[in-house]
C-alpha cells in the first residue's frame, strides 16, 4: 500500500524535474546573455584555478624550503654541540650507556623548548635499525616516524641528510604535534666505545601546514569573489549588448506581423545607436516598398479583373461570328476553311484563359467560396481519367487509377477538387513523353490524398516550389500541346488552400514527377500528415 501511494508522488517529482530541465535547456538555447555569462565564468574559473594552483604550489615549496633550511641548520648546530660535549668527556670514566644518555637527555630537554624530538640509533655495524631495539629517544615519540629509506642511508658513515615524514607519538610531546614533519639525520662518534651513531632530529611542519591552509582559504575566497565579480561584469556587459538586440527582435517581430510603423528608439552615438538608425532606415525603406508593392498588386488585381470582365462581351460577339464561320466552313475553299478551324481553336483557348483569369481574380478578391459535401476521391480520379482519355491517347499515354477497394471520402467542393485533379493529370500528360501515368488514391482516419505520378522529363532542383507560380514554365521553349494557360497549377494551389489542404510536388530530371493533393477528412480538421508519400517508392528504390 505504501509503495502504491509513493509511486504517484515519485512520478510527480520526476515530472517536475523533467519540466525544470526542459525550461532550463530552453532558456539556455534562447538566452545569449546566459551563455555569455556562463562561458565567461567558466573560462575565468579555469584561469583562476590554474593561477591559484600555481600560487599554492609556489607558496608550499617556499614554505617547505625555508623550513628545511632552518631545521637542517639547527640540527647541524645541535650536533656540533653534542660533538663538543663528547670531546670534553675524553679521558673520563664513562660507560657507553651513560654517554648515550648524556647525548639524548640534553637534546630532549632543548627539543621540548625548541619544538623537536631526537632519536639516537644503535651503533653502525651492530644492527643499527631502530626497530631492532637499543635506540635512545625522546619519551613519547614513535620510532616508526623515521622512514626506512633514511635508515638505509645511514647504515654506513654518511653526511647529513633529511627527508619528509609523518610524525606519530605515543603521548603528547611539547612543541611536536602529530602530522607531517621533517627528519634530519647526522652521525656522531661516542668516545666510550669509539663507535659511530646516528642522530635523528624530528621537526613538525604543522605551522607550515596551517599557513598553507590559510593561504589556500584566502585564495579560494578571493577566487570566489573574483568569479562573482566577473559574473556580474559579464552580465552587465552582456545586458548592455543584448538589450538593444532584444528590442530589435521585438520590433522585427512586430514588423513581420504587419505593424510597419514600428521603429527602434535611438539614444547616443555609439555602434548600437548607429545600428538602430540603420535598422530604422531599413524598416522605412521596407515599409515604403511594401506599400508600393501592395498598391501595384492591388492595381494588377484590379486590372486583371477589369480586363477579364471587359473582354467577355467582345469575346461573346467574336465567338458568335466564329461559330457561324465554323459551321459554314464546308462551303469555303480549303485555306479559308482551315482558317475558320484555327479561329475556333484559338477562341476555345482564349475562353479558357479568360475563365482562369476570372477565377484568379476571385481568389485575389477573397470572393471564392466552397460548396462542400462528401466527395469520393476514387470516383473523382476515374471521372478525370475518362475526361482526359482523348488527350492521353493523342499523346500515346495510358492513365491508370491505383486505389484500394471501397470509397475514399473527404468533405470538399467536388467541382474544385475535380478541377485540381484534372489540372494535375493534364500537366502530367503534357510532360509524360508517352509513358504511363498512375493516379494513387489513399486515405486514413484524418486525411485523404491523390497522387499523380509520371515518368517524363521531371523537375530540376528548386523547381518543385516554383511550379505553382502563375505563368511559370520549366522549359519556355517547350510547346504546350494540351493548350494550357499557365494558370492551372496556380488555381489548383488556391483551391487546395481553400480546403485547408496541401498541394506538393516532387521531381527529378529524367525520372519524372509526382504531385500530391492531401485534403482533411473534415474541413475543420488541421492537416498533420498525408496517407501517401511525396517521394514515390520507385524513386526511393532507384536511389
Whether residue 378 sits in one domain with residue 273: no
Domain boundaries, position 489: 369-542
Confidence of residue 480 (pLDDT cuts 50, 70, 90): very low
Whether residue 427 sits in one domain with residue 377: yes
How many structural domains are present in the chain? 3
CB 179 within 8 A of CB 164: no
User: Which runs of consecutive H residues, i.e. helices, occur in 200-333?
Assistant: 206-256, 271-327
pLDDT score, position 127? 59
Contacts with 83 (C-beta within 8 Å, 6 or more apart), sequence order: 188
Rounded to 5 degrees, φ, ψ at 405 are: -65, 140
113: domain CATH number is: 3.30.450
Whether residue 512 sits in one domain with residue 415: yes
* Closest to 212 (Cα-Cα) out of 50, 72, 58: 58
d(CA 202, CA 165): 9
Contacts with 383 (C-beta within 8 Å, 6 or more apart), sequence order: 418
What sign does the dihedral 17-19-23-25 (CA atoms) show? Answer: positive
User: Which runs of consecutive H residues, i.e. helices, occur in 366-435?
Assistant: 377-387, 389-394, 414-431
Confidence of residue 119 (pLDDT cuts 50, 70, 90): confident
CB 446 within 8 A of CB 528: yes
Whether residue 308 sits in one domain with residue 191: no
Whether residue 341 sits in one domain with residue 267: yes
- For all residues of the chain together, what is the average pLDDT? 83
396-433 pLDDT, tens digit per residue, is 899 999 888 788 999 999 988 998 999 899 989 988 88
Q: Pick from 367, 395, 425: which residue ends a domain?
A: 367
448: domain CATH number is: 3.30.565.10
Whether residue 485 sits in one domain with residue 355: no
Buried b vs exposed e over 417-438: b needs ≥16 C-beta within 10 Å? bbbbbbbbbbbbbbbbeeeebb
Q: Pick from 173, 188, 211: which residue ends a domain?
A: 211
What sign does the dihedral 151-153-157-162 (CA atoms) show? Answer: negative
pLDDT score, position 308? 64
Stated pTM of the model: 0.52
Amino acid at each position: 500500500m505504501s509503495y502504491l501511494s509513493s509511486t504517484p508522488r515519485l512520478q510527480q517529482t520526476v515530472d517536475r524535474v523533467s519540466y525544470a530541465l526542459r525550461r532550463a535547456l530552453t532558456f539556455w538555447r534562447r538566452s545569449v546573455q546566459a551563455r555569455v555569462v556562463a562561458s565567461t565564468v567558466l573560462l575565468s574559473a579555469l584561469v583562476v584555478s590554474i593561477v591559484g594552483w600555481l600560487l599554492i604550489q609556489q607558496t608550499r615549496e617556499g614554505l617547505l624550503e625555508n623550513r628545511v633550511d632552518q631545521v637542517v641548520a639547527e640540527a647541524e648546530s645541535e650536533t656540533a654541540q653534542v660533538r663538543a660535549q663528547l670531546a670534553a668527556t675524553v679521558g673520563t670514566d664513562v660507560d657507553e650507556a651513560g654517554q648515550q644518555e648524556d647525548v639524548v637527555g640534553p637534546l630532549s630537554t632543548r627539543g621540548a623548548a625548541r619544538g623537536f624530538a631526537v632519536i639516537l640509533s644503535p651503533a653502525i655495524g651492530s644492527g643499527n635499525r631502530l626497530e631492532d631495539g637499543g635506540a635512545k629517544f625522546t619519551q613519547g615519540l614513535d620510532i616508526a616516524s623515521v622512514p626506512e629509506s633514511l635508515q638505509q642511508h645511514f647504515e654506513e658513515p654518511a653526511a647529513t641528510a633529511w627527508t619528509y615524514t609523518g610524525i606519530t607519538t605515543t603521548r603528547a610531546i611539547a612543541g611536536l604535534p602529530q602530522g607531517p614533519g621533517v627528519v634530519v639525520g647526522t652521525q656522531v662518534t661516542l668516545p666510550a666505545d669509539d663507535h659511530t651513531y646516528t642522530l635523528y632530529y624530528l621537526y613538525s611542519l604543522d605551522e607550515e601546514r596551517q599557513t598553507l591552509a590559510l593561504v589556500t582559504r584566502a585564495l579560494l575566497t578571493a577566487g570566489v569573489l573574483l568569479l562573482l565579480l566577473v559574473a556580474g561584469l559579464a552580465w552587465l556587459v552582456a545586458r548592455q549588448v543584448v538589450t538593444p538586440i532584444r528590442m530589435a527582435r521585438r520590433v522585427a517581430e512586430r514588423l513581420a506581423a504587419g505593424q510597419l510603423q514600428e521603429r527602434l528608439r535611438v539614444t547616443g552615438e555609439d555602434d548600437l545607436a548607429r545600428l538602430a538608425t540603420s535598422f530604422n532606415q531599413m524598416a522605412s525603406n521596407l515599409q515604403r516598398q511594401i506599400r508600393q508593392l501592395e498598391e501595384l498588386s492591388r492595381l494588377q488585381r484590379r486590372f486583371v479583373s477589369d480586363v477579364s470582365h471587359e473582354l467577355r462581351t467582345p469575346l461573346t460577339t467574336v465567338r458568335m461570328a466564329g461559330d457561324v464561320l465554323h459551321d459554314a466552313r464546308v462551303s469555303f475553299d480549303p485555306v479559308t476553311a482551315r482558317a475558320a478551324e484555327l479561329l475556333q481553336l484559338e477562341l476555345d483557348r482564349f475562353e479558357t484563359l479568360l475563365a482562369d483569369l476570372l477565377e484568379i481574380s476571385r481568389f485575389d478578391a477573397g470572393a471564392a467560396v466552397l460548396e462542400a459535401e462528401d466527395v469520393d476521391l476514387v470516383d473523382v480520379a476515374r471521372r478525370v481519367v475518362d475526361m482526359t482519355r482523348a488527350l492521353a491517347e493523342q499523346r500515346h499515354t495510358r492513365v491508370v487509377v491505383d486505389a484500394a477497394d471501397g470509397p475514399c471520402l473527404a468533405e470538399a467542393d467536388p467541382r474544385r477538387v475535380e478541377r485540381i485533379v484534372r489540372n494535375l493529370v493534364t500537366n502530367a500528360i503534357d510532360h509524360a513523353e508517352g509513358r504511363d501515368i498512375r493516379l494513387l488514391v489513399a486515405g486514413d482516419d484524418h486525411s485523404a490524398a491523390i497522387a499523380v505520378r509520371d515518368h517524363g522529363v521531371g523537375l530540376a532542383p528548386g523547381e518543385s516550389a516554383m511550379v505553382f507560380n502563375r505563368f511559370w514554365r520549366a522549359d519556355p521553349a517547350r510547346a504546350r500541346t494540351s493548350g494550357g494557360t499557365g494558370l492551372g497549377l496556380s488555381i489548383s494551389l488556391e483551391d487546395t488552400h481553400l480546403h485547408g489542404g496541401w498541394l506538393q510536388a516532387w521531381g527529378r530530371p529524367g525520372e519524372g514527377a509526382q504531385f500530391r493533393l492531401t485534403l482533411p477528412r473534415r474541413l475543420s480538421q488541421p492537416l498533420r500528415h498525408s496517407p501517401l508519400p511525396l517521394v514515390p517508392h520507385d524513386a526511393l528504390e532507384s536511389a
